[in-house]
Structure 1
Amino acid sequence: MELRDLLDREQIRDCIARVARGEDRRDAELIKQCYWQDANVDFGIFTGSFAEYLAWVVPGSPAVPLTLHTLGQSLIELHAAKAAVETHVTSYHRIDMGEQHRDIVIGGRYLDRLEQREGHWRIAQRTMLYDWVSDYGQSADFGKGVLGTPFKTKHSVGAARGDFSETFFKQLRA
Structure 2
Amino acid sequence: MTQSANEAKLQLVLDRQEIEQILSLYCRAIDRLDAELLKSIYHPDGTDDHGVFSGPAHEFADMIMVSLAEVLIDGMHTVTHSAIEIEGNFATAESYYQAYQLCHGGLDAVTGFFGPAYAEAQVAKGTIDSPQDYICGGRYIDLFEKRDGKWKILRRRITNEWNICQPSTRITQQGHLAHFNLPGRRDRQDPVYMNVLPKTP
The alpha carbon displacement at 1:126 in A equals 0.6
Q: Structure 2 length as normaliser, TM-score? A: 0.76
Fraction of identical pairs, as percent: 27
Q: Deviations over 1:62-83 (max 9, x none)?
A: 1112121111110001111000
Equivalent position of 1:101 in the other structure: 131
Q: Number of residues paired by the alignment?
A: 168
Q: Which has the higher strand share?
A: 1
Whole-Å Cα distance in 1 between the matches of residues 192 and 171 of structure 2?
Answer: 20
CA RMSD of aligned residues (A): 1.9
Q: Distance in 2 between matches of 1:53 and 1:22?
A: 13
What SS does the corresponding residue of 1:123 show, helix, strand or coil?
strand
> After TM superposition, where is structure 1 displaced by more than 6 Å over at least 4 residues in a row?
none
* CA deviation after TM superposition for structure 1 residue 84, in Å: 0.7
Separation of aligned partners in 1, 2:178 and 2:131: 21
The equivalent of 1:39 in structure 2 is 46
1:157 corresponds to 2:157: no
DSSP 3-state at the match of 2:176: coil
* One-letter identity of the residue aligned with 1:45: V
Query: 1 CA distance for matches of 2:142 and 2:149?
Result: 18
Residue in 1 that maps onto 2:79: 71
User: By how many angstroms is 1:139 displaced?
Assistant: 4.3
SS in 1 for 2:100: strand
Q: Offset of 1:32 from its aligned partner? A: 2.0
The structure where helix makes up a greater share of residues is 2
SS at match of 1:149: helix
Superposition deviation, residue 150 in structure 1: 4.7
Larger radius of gyration: 2
Q: Given the two structures, how large is their TM-score scaled by the length of structure 1? A: 0.87
Gaps of 5+ in 1: none
Alignment equivalent of 1:2, drawn from 6, 9, 13: 9
Q: Which runs of 5+ in 2 are unaligned?
A: 1-7, 107-128
- Of the three residues 120, 139, 147, the one matched with 2:150 is 120
- Would the alpha carbon gap of residues 116 and 103 (structure 1) be closer, same or farther in structure 2, given more than 3 Å must change? same
